């Protein structure tokens, strides 16, 4: 097994014959007329002596004798050696090759002027690290590929290092981990990262004075290998991670080095781990982008009603892993003022697409924690989620869990993308799959109303919008009519507040929200009730509507909602005394 073999390589500095052969041929100029079994282990070298026990098991026999006689070759094979290194200018005769082959030995021909110390260095110096590099690279590369290749690579890296590892992707998910192969414990490193919410991909909350980042090196005969390693000190713990890939990291590799130092051997292994993991994470990213593209196309068809028959809709949803036969509730996650963000930051197109991908992946990760039956797809600058019922989420629980999801996504995105805020709109559960476009429309209305009324970071449900949705429909279909109604009701009060910095609008909103109670309004606004009465009378003078009449109060309430939907709140803060 490769993993076990290279665990031994780490502790005993053993290599396989294939890698030993490569270094002999490439670095020392040897010939190899007989390759032997390339998977055999080579743990060291032993120089031919007349003493008994000069050759240990798995050691390559080094000899300068003039003839490779049968007795010597049998002695070497009986001692458990995988190979003979013959230091001679001559070429091995055919009969010697036949004997060695029959005994399962590899044979190398090495010029006698190559110093013995060069051979010894293979297991004691820079050449040893070169052998380790060859072996580690081959071990990890041979394991690459397959559906679970990231997890398999994590296990191989853990086996090579003999330490616990955790792999974090670029959006902060801990996507794979492997415990210390020499311990019976679960992965304490992952538990610690989860418990403290520590991520290399975002601001960690770890003070800069408790963070150290520098390149670590391993010297090989043909140059240096370097790996950037960051160390975090969190209370009584020391945490280490290295970015995966060059440029913008494809992810991060956490290694449990608690109480240990990073050796040159570890640097070599981390170097190869980073390279192989970059490839594997790249494959995952391609798969994700393809999947998001397919999902996005379907979601786009679905919200537009261009899905063909209901049976075709259900088939396409099933292909993407969602059962929508019992309908769904729609949730829309939208980036607040995204156009203004782009205008302010002016990011390039790749950065914009990366941001959208990170948002989509963050929403998917949070959704998976609460729902087992859902369909998610990106669309423009938002993410649309169809939440279906399941055994663990009956239809009646969908609205409540959808709001939990909205809050969870907001918290996660705040840590992941601190420069952005998101709003969420939630529609009603539609039990008929044919009505899913309507479910989307309701979520869209809730999102728009919530953003207009509450501002950024709003979470709004269609059921909670009340009469706002009726006025919003008027705004969509006949905006002039809503504008006219606003002008007839609240526009004079807004204009007065903007001009004189008064608080008439705030007072009216609070008064109507307190069921026309002057006493409660005065308490909420920290003002005398006579002051409240004066302000309400001033509203009546400006609008011609009496706040003491129920019909006029109803018109003023609708006027306030029209003001909010139209975005016509007073231009200046209402913090000065009345005029």
C-alpha to C-alpha distance for 266 and 554, rounded to whole angstroms: 74
- Between strands 382-387 and 329-335, the pairing is antiparallel
Q: Whole-model pTM?
A: 0.54
CA pair distance 241, 218, nearest whole angstrom: 17
* Mean pLDDT, range 131-155, rounded to an integer: 71
3-state secondary structure of 194: helix
DSSP β-ladder status, 44-47 and 174-178: unpaired
Residue in this structure with the two tokens 């994470």, named with its chain if needed? 281
**For 88-102, 131-145, 228-242, which range has the lowest pLDDT when averaged over its residues?**
131-145
Per-residue pLDDT at 310 exceeds 80: yes
Given this model, what pLDDT does residue 222 score? 64
- Bridge partners of residue 359, in order along the sequence: none
**Segment 352-374 mean pLDDT:** 88
pLDDT given for residue 477 in this prediction: 84
Does residue 294 surpass a pLDDT of 80?
Answer: no
pLDDT of residue 579: 33
Name the fold adopted by 7-125.
3.40.1390
More reliable by pLDDT, 14 or 464: 464
476-566 and 7-125 share a CATH fold? no
Give me the mean pLDDT over the 506-527 stretch: 91
276/280 Cα distance (integer angstroms)? 6
Of the ranges 197-201, 251-255, 256-260, 501-505, which one carries the lowest mean pLDDT score? 256-260
Residue 292: pLDDT band (50, 70, 90) is: low
Least confident of 358-372, 492-506, 559-573: 559-573
Q: How many whole angstroms separate alpha carbon 136 and alpha carbon 122?
A: 15
What span, in angstroms and rounded, lies between the C-alpha atoms of 74 and 81?
Answer: 10
What's the Rg (C-alpha) of the chain? 36
Give backbone dihedrals phi and psi of 207, rounded to 5 degrees, phi first: -60, 145
- Do 17 and 38 touch, CB atoms closer than 8 A? yes
Length reported for the chain: 579
Question: Is the model's pLDDT at 223 over the cut of 80?
Answer: no
Q: Where are the domains of the chain?
A: 7-125, 143-282, 305-460, 476-566
Record the tokens describing residue 162, joined without a space.
């003999």
Pick the CATH number of 143-282 from 1.10.1330, 3.30.70, 3.40.50, 3.30.450: 3.30.450
Residue 14's pLDDT is what? Answer: 64
Give the closest residue to 313 by CA, choosing from 332, 394, 367, 322: 322
Q: What is the pLDDT of residues 150-199, one digit of tens each?
A: 888 888 888 888 888 999 987 777 888 888 877 766 788 898 888 888 88
CA distance 48 to 72: 10
Identity of the highest mean pLDDT range in 133-147, 251-265, 523-537: 523-537
pLDDT bucket at 221, cuts 50 / 70 / 90 = low
Residue 10 has pLDDT above 70, yes or no: no
- Label residue 142 by pLDDT band (50, 70, 90): low
Q: What digits encode the pLDDT tens for the residues 463-484?
A: 888 888 888 888 888 889 889 9
pLDDT recorded at residue 99: 92
CATH architecture of 305-460: 2-Layer Sandwich (3.30)
Q: Please determine, for residue 297, whether its predicted confidence score (pLDDT) is greater than 70.
A: yes
What whole-number distance in Å separates Cα of residue 260 and Cα of residue 537? 77
Average pLDDT of the chain is 84
Helix axes 504-513, 550-566, angle to 10 degrees: 120
Comparing C-alpha atoms, which of 445, 477, 479 is closest to residue 464? Answer: 445
Average pLDDT on 447-452 reads 90
The whole-number average pLDDT for the span 297-316 is: 83
**pLDDT at res. 578:** 38
What is the DSSP secondary-structure string of 136-182? Answer: HHHHHHHT--STTHHHHHHHHHHHHHTS-EEEEETTS-EEEEE--TT
- Confidence check: pLDDT of 565 > 90: no
- Round to whole Å and give the CA distance between 196 and 474: 49
Residues 6+ apart with CB under 8 A from 409: 333, 362, 363, 366, 422, 424
Contact 546, 540 (CB under 8 A): yes
pLDDT for 128 equals 67
CATH of domain 476-566: 1.10.10.2840
What's residue 3's pLDDT?
Answer: 36
- Strand locations in 23-110, DSSP E? 31-34, 41-42, 44-47, 59-63, 83-87, 106-110
Distance CA 458, CA 15 (A): 60
Q: Answer for the pair 98, 120: CB distance below 8 angstroms, yes or no.
A: no
Percentage of the chain with pLDDT > 90? 35
Average pLDDT rounded to a whole number, residues 97-105: 93
Mean pLDDT of 92-103: 93
The DSSP annotation for 359-411 comes to HHHHHHHHHHHH-SSEEEEEETTEEEEEE---SSS-GGGHHHHHHHHHHHHHH
Of 267, 294, 269, 285, the residue nearest 150 (C-alpha): 285
- The whole-angstrom separation of Cα 317 and Cα 262 is 49
What is residue 410's predicted lDDT score, i.e. its pLDDT? 92
Check residue 440 and give its pLDDT.
92
- Could you give the 3-state DSSP secondary structure of residue 357? helix
At 9 the pLDDT is 36
Which position has the higher pLDDT, 408 or 133?
A: 408
């Amino acid at each position: 097994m490769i993993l076990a073999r290279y665990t031994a390589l780490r502790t005993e500095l053993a290599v396989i014959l294939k890698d030993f052969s490569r270094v002999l041929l490439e670095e020392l100029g040897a010939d190899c007329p007989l390759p032997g079994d390339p998977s055999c282990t080579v743990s060291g070298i032993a120089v031919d002596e007349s003493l008994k026990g000069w050759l240990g098991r798995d050691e390559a026999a080094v000899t300068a004798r003039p003839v490779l006689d049968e007795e010597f070759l049998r002695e070497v094979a009986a001692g458990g050696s995988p190979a003979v290194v013959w230091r001679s200018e001559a070429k091995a005769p055919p009969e010697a090759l036949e004997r060695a082959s029959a005994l399962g030995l590899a044979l190398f021909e090495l010029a006698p002027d190559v110093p013995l110390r060069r051979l010894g260095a293979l297991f004691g110096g820079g050449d040893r690290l070169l052998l380790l590099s060859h072996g580690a690279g081959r071990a990890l590369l041979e394991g690459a590929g397959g559906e679970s290749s990231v997890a398999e690579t994590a296990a191989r890296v853990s086996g090579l290092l003999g330490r616990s590892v955790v792999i974090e992707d670029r959006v902060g998910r801990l996507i794979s981990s492997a415990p210390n192969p020499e311990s019976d414990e679960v992965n304490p490193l992952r538990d610690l990262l989860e418990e403290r919410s520590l991520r290399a991909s975002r601001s960690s909350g770890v003070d800069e004075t408790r963070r150290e980042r520098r390149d670590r090196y391993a010297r090989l005969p043909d140059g240096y290998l370097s790996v950037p390693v960051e160390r975090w000190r969190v209370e009584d713990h020391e945490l280490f991670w290295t970015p995966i890939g060059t440029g913008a990291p494809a992810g991060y590799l956490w290694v449990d080095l608690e109480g240990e130092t990073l050796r040159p051997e570890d640097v070599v292994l981390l170097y190869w781990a980073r390279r192989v993991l970059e490839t594997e994470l790249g494959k995952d990213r391609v798969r994700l982008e393809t999947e998001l593209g397919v999902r996005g196309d379907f979601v786009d068809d679905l919200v537009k009603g261009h899905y063909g028959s209901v049976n075709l809709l259900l088939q396409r949803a099933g292909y993407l892993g969602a059962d929508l036969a019992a309908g769904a509730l729609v949730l829309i996650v939208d980036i607040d003022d995204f156009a203004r963000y782009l205008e302010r930051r002016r990011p390039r197109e790749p950065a914009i697409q990366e941001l959208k991908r990170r948002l989509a992946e963050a929403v998917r990760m949070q959704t998976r924690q609460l729902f087992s039956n859902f369909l998610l797809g990106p669309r423009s600058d938002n993410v649309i989620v169809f939440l279906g019922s399941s055994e663990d989420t009956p239809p009646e629980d969908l609205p409540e869990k959808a709001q939990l999801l909205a809050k969870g996504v907001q918290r996660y995105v705040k840590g992941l993308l601190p420069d952005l805020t998101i709003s969420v709109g939630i529609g009603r559960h539609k039990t008929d799959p044919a009505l899913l476009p309507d479910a989307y429309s309701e979520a869209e209305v809730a999102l728009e109303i919530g953003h207009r009324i509450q501002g950024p970071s709003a979470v709004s449900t269609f059921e909670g919008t009340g009469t706002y949705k009726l006025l919003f429909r008027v705004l969509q279909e006949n905006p002039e009519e809503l504008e006219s109604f606003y002008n007839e009701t609240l526009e004079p009060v807004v204009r007065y507040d903007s001009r004189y910095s008064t608080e008439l609008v705030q007072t009216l909103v609070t008064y109507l929200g307190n069921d026309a109670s002057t006493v409660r309004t005065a308490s909420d606004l920290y003002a005398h009730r006579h002051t409240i009465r004066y302000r309400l009378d001033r509203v009546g003078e400006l609008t011609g509507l009496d706040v003491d009449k129920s019909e006029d109060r109803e018109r003023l309430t609708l006027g306030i909602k029209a003001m909010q939907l139209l975005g016509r709140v007073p231009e200046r803060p209402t913090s000065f005394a009345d005029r």
